Amino acid sequence: MTKVVLIDDEPLSREIVKAYLRAFPDMDVVQECNDGFEGVKAIQQHQPELIFLDIQMPKINGFEMLELIDQKPSVIFITAYDSYAIKAFEANAVDYLLKPVPEDRFQQAVLKWKSKITPTAPDQMEKVLSSMATTAAQQNRIVVKTGNKVKIIPVHEVQYIEANDDFVNIVTAEGTFLKNKTMQFYEQTLDAQQFVRIHRSYIAHVGQITRIEPYQKETHLAILRNGKQLPVSKAGYVRLKEILGI
Amino acid sequence: MIAFAILLPAAGLFALLTTWYGLEFTLAATDTMLSVFLLVTAVVASRSVLTTYFPQSGKLAYGIGLSMALAILITWLFYQSMQGLADDAGYLSFVYESLPVRVGFNWVVIVSMSAMIILYEGFREKQKDTQHERDTAAMVKEAELQKLQLQLQPHFLFNSLNSINALILTQPPRAREMVQQLSDFLRATLKRADEQWITLDQELHYLNLYLSIEKVRFGHRLDVQTEVDEQIKLWLIPPLLLQPLVENAIKFGLYGTTDNVSITMKTYRVDNALRVTITNPFDADMQPPEGSGFGLNGLRRRLYLLYGRNDLLATRIEANHFTVELTLPEKL
């Protein structure tokens, strides 16, 4: 049996997927979820092979939910209408269904997934997620997971972002949160007027910097409101000066 | 106006000729008519020459030269014509004596009249431009209002169709019901787009059509309470103002939480205005996703275009509730 999880906030929308899935007796819907929070829990608990995921949902959207999952299952997106999203899917060959979902198209998507069996290549999914973040305006919040809890951080609360091997640490007044994204990703998607790559390993929130002091040869130190000192490289200092207009 | 501008100098000239110079009636009349006729011709000519060709440099010299040439020309024509028309030697010598004065007089009249005509025409032209600008601005405003009014959320439409699709499989009678509701709603939307003002009652009816569809989509989770002051049901308001507000409240409420969402809407009278408040539950920890503020921005713009005011829409957050307060001045 193939384990399947449905994540959509409209009961009728899940209803139709379940009805279509009756044509595939080997597919077992192990759980239905109303929102991304439930979705994260269900995926951790059941480790499904395939999920049907709506994009516009309560609390966190479908893309934000996927960001929180390390071992991503195969995904078939179901969306009402979003030209950006469709572009991202087509470019990366991730399957998607448009509402209202026609049955033949649904079967086609499931058969296509079955014939490949291998889940959607993770790097393709990464590409979809980052192109969503860059096309859908600037992001104004970051969704992180702490233990089993999901936390939403408004970007204005972020003090700085620090490289941590392949991941990054998002630092706020409340603490440090690990996120499986790259420095480059945040450098590109956060508002460039507010977040500056001051160093290979640091992106600082400009509003948090109280002063900048010279340090060793050609490098500086940025001192944040809470007293934290961050190194500023030569190139970072140039970028910082440009934003601050000095 | 033009007749007056011709008659006044004509009468003046005639009076001058009869009383001061003591000319007899017919001679004075002929003299006056011919002089005035030539002057009018000269002014018309100078105006058309000046408007067709006006040099960038040496304007003054050109203007003076042209008017002077015209003044000399008509005076000469006048003298030639008079020699044929009148055989009174005394009068003819008077005409000859007065030639320099006549040239001067003609010149002054040509210059002042042409200047007045050109200034007046410029003024008219400007007025026309301003009128045109005003018309264009009104058209742009109209178009923008129409666009804002018709901003139907495509998500809403496609999601509703998807719900219908599901109901066809599971509960066909309810699917038919929803097709009917959606059609009524769409028909009303199209109709409203052409209307400038509708009664509060009509708008509430439209709102109920919308809510009946949203209730099918979200089922038991959605609960909307409305309180309406019966006395103001027939007040006129712009169409499609309340529906986007309620849509926004639903989106905020539903997408911010998975619990039941209860939305309260109250309409009542405040002095000479109609007030609508819409309250939805709000989770302060949730940062609303990007783009969800559209409803309110579009609405603010519409209110500004309709009433020329920016203070008609207010929002506030109290504890776990988000409230939108809309004030619509009475339509007189």
Least confident of A22-36, A107-121, B23-37, B206-220: A107-121
% of chain B residues with pLDDT over 90: 14
Cβ pair B290:A16 closer than 8 A: no
Task: Walk along chain A (246 residues) and give the pLDDT tens digit of each residue.
Answer: 899 999 998 889 999 999 999 999 999 999 999 888 899 999 999 999 999 998 888 778 888 888 888 888 888 888 886 666 676 676 555 688 888 989 999 999 899 888 876 555 666 677 777 666 654 445 678 888 887 778 888 888 899 999 998 889 999 998 899 988 889 888 888 888 889 999 999 999 999 999 999 988 888 999 999 889 999 999 999 999 888 887
- Whole-number Cα distances in Å, A98 to A15, A228, B176: 15, 48, 22
Q: Which of A152-166, B285-299, B311-325 has the lowest mean pLDDT?
A: B285-299
**What CA–CA distance (Å, rounded) separates A95 from A51?**
11
Question: If pLDDT is split at 50, 70 and 90, which confidence band does B292 have?
Answer: very low
Cross-chain residue pair A81–B154, CB shorter than 8 Å: yes
Do A229 and A222 form a contact (C-beta atoms < 8 A)? Answer: yes
Q: Do A16 and B158 touch (CB under 8 A)?
A: no
B193 to B240, B241, B294, B321: CA distances (angstroms): 8, 11, 19, 32
Looking at residue B161, its pLDDT comes to 92
Q: Mind listing the domains of chain A with CATH numbers?
A: 2-135 (3.40.50.2300), 141-244 (2.40.50.1020)
Q: B114 to chain A nearest CA, in Å?
A: 59
A87 within 8 A of A135, measured Cβ to Cβ: yes
Alpha helices in chain B (DSSP H): 2-15, 25-52, 59-85, 89-149, 154-170, 172-192, 200-218, 242-256, 294-307
For each of the domains in chain B, give its residue range(s) and CATH number, in order of start: 2-146 (no CATH), 164-329 (3.30.565.10)
Answer whether 0.90 is exceeded by the pTM. no
pLDDT attached to residue B139: 80
Taking 60 as the threshold, does the pLDDT of residue B254 lie above it?
yes
Q: How far apart are CA B245 and CA B224, in angstroms?
A: 13
Best mutation target among B157, B159, B215, B259 (most A Cβ atoms within 10 Å) is B159
How far the first Cα of chain A sits from its last, in Å, is 64
Name the residue in chain B with its Cα closest to that of A135: B290
Give the separation between CA A157 and CA A180, rounded to whole angstroms: 19
- Distance, CA of B24 to CA of B43 (rounded, Å): 28
Dihedral sign computed on CA atoms, order B232, B236, B237, B243 = positive
C-beta of residue A142 within 8 angstroms of C-beta of residue A185: no
Indicate the SS3 state at residue A189.
Answer: helix
Please write the tens of the pLDDT for every residue from B140-153: 877 777 776 666 66
Contacts with B, A 200-229, CB within 8 Å = none
Cβ atoms A230, A224 nearer than 8 A: yes
Check CB contact of B294 with chain A, cutoff 8 Å. Answer: no
Q: State the average pLDDT for chain B.
A: 83
Chain B residues close to A96, C-beta within 8 Å: none
Q: Model confidence over B60-99: pLDDT tens digits?
A: 788 888 888 989 998 998 888 888 887 778 888 888 888 8
pLDDT > 70: percent of chain B? 91
Task: Return the pLDDT at A136.
Answer: 47
Number of H helices, E strands in chain A: 8, 15
pLDDT value for B151: 64
| Residues linked to residue A231 through DSSP beta bridges, in sequence order | A221
At residue B34's C-alpha, the angle toward residues B32 and B37, to 5°, is 105
- In DSSP terms, B261 is beta-bridged to B222
Strands A27-33 vs A195-199: parallel, antiparallel or unpaired: unpaired
A56 Cα to chain B: minimum distance (Å): 8
In whole angstroms, give the CA distance from residue A158 to residue A55. Answer: 25
Residue among A237, A130, A116, A121 nearest A189 (CA): A130
Residue B165 has a pLDDT of 92
| CA B109 to chain CA mean position, Å | 41
Instruction: Point out the least confidently predicted range of A167-171, A197-201, B135-139, B258-262.
Output: B258-262
What is the DSSP secondary structure assignment for residue A163, as one 8-state letter?
E
